[in-house]
């Protein structure tokens, strides 16, 4: 069962900020971009778009921009011909990737249980 992971009663100001930060980073696309940049170290925008299956160009642009603003990602414009932009994680981004690691491992370990739970739920709702 484990102890509560976080104790917001300690400081309401910190609680509000933490909840806001969680709201920003606990996001499917942010996690998948973090994962891609953890594996590949440096990616151009077009390479990132290929790694993050199913994301629209607009959503990927918004996601990396928000991650840059939060200090998770460094965006570098390379003045070559043709010019290109590449992305890499900051130390802060790497530390978030490590924190999310437990969630990936959990998902990997529990895929079958979740599939089974969904089947059971759907059967109960139909039956």
114 part of the interface to its own copies, by CB under 8 A: yes
The answer to whether 37 touches 73, Cβ cutoff 8 Å, is yes
Tell me, what DSSP letter sits at residue 76? E
Distance CA 94, CA 103 (A): 15
12 part of the interface to its own copies, by CB under 8 A: no
- Which residue among 80, 81, 82, 113 contacts its own copies (CB under 8 A)? 113
Q: Which region, judged by CB under 8 A, interacts with its own copies, from 42-50, 56-64, 78-86, 104-112?
A: 104-112
Tell me, what DSSP letter sits at residue 81? S
Tell me, what DSSP letter sits at residue 54? T
- Positions 62 through 101 that interact with its own copies (CB under 8 A): 68-71, 92, 94-101
- Which residue among 18, 42, 59, 85 contacts its own copies (CB under 8 A)? 18
The answer to whether 90 touches 71, Cβ cutoff 8 Å, is yes
Distance CA 104, CA 110 (A): 10
127 part of the interface to its own copies, by CB under 8 A: no
Site string for its own copies, 25-64 (x = CB under 8 A): xxxx-xxx--x--xx-------------x-----------
């Amino acid at each position: 069962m484990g102890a509560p992971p976080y104790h917001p009663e300690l400081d309401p100001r910190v609680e509000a900020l933490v909840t806001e930060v969680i709201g920003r980073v606990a996001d499917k696309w942010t996690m998948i971009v973090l994962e891609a940049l953890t594996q590949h170290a440096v990616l151009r925008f077009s390479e990132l778009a290929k790694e993050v299956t199913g994301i629209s160009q607009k959503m990927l642009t918004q996601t990396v921009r928000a991650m840059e603003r939060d200090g998770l990602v460094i965006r570098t414009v390379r003045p070559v011909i043709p010019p290109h932009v590449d992305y890499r994680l900051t130390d802060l981004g790497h530390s978030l990737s490590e924190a999310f690691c437990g969630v990936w491992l959990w998902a990997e370990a529990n895929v079958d249980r979740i599939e089974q739970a969904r089947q059971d739920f759907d059967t109960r709702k139909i039956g």
